[in-house]
Structure 1
């Protein structure tokens, strides 16, 4: 697909992958509506885009997990630029580490990492079915294909995000609705360091498990990979190609893969971290 004159909505756009996607799309001639809960962050992103590409971007402060906010976000996009062609369900949270994460933390992870995707689809799919086309892009994680040491809520909800994207593709793929799911490993964003910032040994080990597993990519690199994949309309977007090999090994011998992950976890613990129990 071509991005020229397309209208894209991006949640979690105040930084990281979301802001990089917005800038990359604007460079390709798209109109972008960038949403975030942090007004100053999203306004800064949009100002930078409009400085280079006048009137290409609009900032909207919205809760990506609230249906009323999603509806308002889409309506503002339509009023500013016309019908929305692409919806990037990109907002995400890490959740608290360990088995004893609070109910509140679990609820937030489910709300932002998966229910936000469901609610966005509930708003967008009827519009796209009427038009005969649309593109839904969800940001999950390599954790959705594999797992995330130390971070159960993150791992579970990213599995769910991937599963929902698969379901959307199966259900609506023959009706003009394209779906892609982004599953990176380490990307240099605030979310990458979330576990460590909690000051918890398990959270620190979780962060180290990601940062030691592969190259830490800049968000601009990820955005370029995403646009290339969307041009080809690929479902699974893997900025770290090695994730596919890991996923295939997991599927080929699940027990062996689990054993290997336990060994990896123990290696991290021996390097000064506490073993998750």
Structure 2
């Protein structure tokens, strides 16, 4: 079991302007990490840095696109200039776009780019140096949707499955060379994404919606080891096992939830 001590380490957190990313960045800084706060929203990223610095931590803002090849290269360059080589990458940025089969080509393309290809591009850029150095840590925020599914949201569900699959591949390929990969898969979390999920909010909150700070605390605890799945909601592990043990029964249960959503829409006149 190989732990990661954030103290003194250069770490990057993408999507760190709000929600889980901001809570992660703040928690890592409290443990002594030098944090690169990355987000498309420069103002939100700057607010996270302000919170960290006010608490006595060390952070630098890195606004920009962490999904593109150029954006990843620029982000790593900012980190290196500020704090030296990146030792841990928290691939937290994600998007939820489109509903049902009405999700557009553009929404699917953006979801694939941010929720999957961003991780691929970061790994391509980071792995050569990590392999030379003997290791690194790559933590993907993948969501319980990456292990199960999210009704009404095919682009989100498919791409979060892709995020888990890529993390699994990365771990299987490089764990013997010191690269530790972990997949964070929370269910309902009290963030803007949850409040904007409409009728799905009740379903996503059925096992209690955690705060972003609670999820960040679970991630920090998980850094002490190298277990692949980080599951802040313990029930997700039970659902995952049930899905594998009897897929048709699980799908029938999910379909019953879909029927409940459909009935709610009909009652609401949608």
- For Structure 1 versus Structure 2, the TM-score category normalised by the shorter chain is over 0.9
| Counterpart contact for 1:151–1:206, Cα < 8 Å | no
Distance in 1 separating the partners of 2:261 and 2:120: 35
Match of 1:227 in 2: 220
Match of 2:31 in 1: 28
Distance in 2 separating the partners of 1:193 and 1:125: 36
Q: Does 1:13 align with 2:20?
A: no
Distance in 2 separating the partners of 1:58 and 1:218: 24
1:59 to 1:273, Cα distance in 2 relative to 1, 3 A: farther
| Counterpart contact for 1:97–1:195, Cα < 8 Å | no
Distance in 2 separating the partners of 1:75 and 1:10: 14
Which consecutive unaligned segments of at least 5 residues does structure 2 have? none
Q: Once the 2 structures are TM-superposed, how far is the Cα of residue 268 of structure 1 from its aligned partner? A: 2.9
The secondary structure found in structure 2 opposite 1:35 is strand
Match of 1:208 in 2: 202
Q: Does 1:110 align with 2:112?
A: yes
Match of 1:39 among 27, 36, 42: 42
Distance in 2 separating the partners of 1:120 and 1:143: 22
Q: Once the 2 structures are TM-superposed, how far is the Cα of residue 272 of structure 1 from its aligned partner? A: 4.1
Match of 1:187 among 186, 189, 200: 189
Q: Once the 2 structures are TM-superposed, how far is the Cα of residue 267 of structure 1 from its aligned partner? A: 2.2
C-alpha deviations, 1:58-110, integer Å up to 9, x for none? 00011011111111111111111111110011100001111121100000100
Q: How big is the alpha-carbon RMSD for the aligned residues of Structure 1 and Structure 2?
A: 1.2
C-alpha deviations, 1:18-76, integer Å up to 9, x for none? 0000110011111100000111100011011011125x100001101111111111111
Which consecutive unaligned segments of at least 5 residues does structure 1 have? 197-204
Distance in 2 separating the partners of 1:32 and 1:151: 32
| Counterpart contact for 2:12–2:37, Cα < 8 Å | yes
Q: Once the 2 structures are TM-superposed, how far is the Cα of residue 209 of structure 1 from its aligned partner? A: 2.6
TM-score normalised per structure 1: 0.92
1:241 to 1:135, Cα distance in 2 relative to 1, 3 A: same
Which ranges of 4 or more aligned residues in structure 1 deviate by more than 2 Å?
Answer: 193-196, 205-209, 267-274
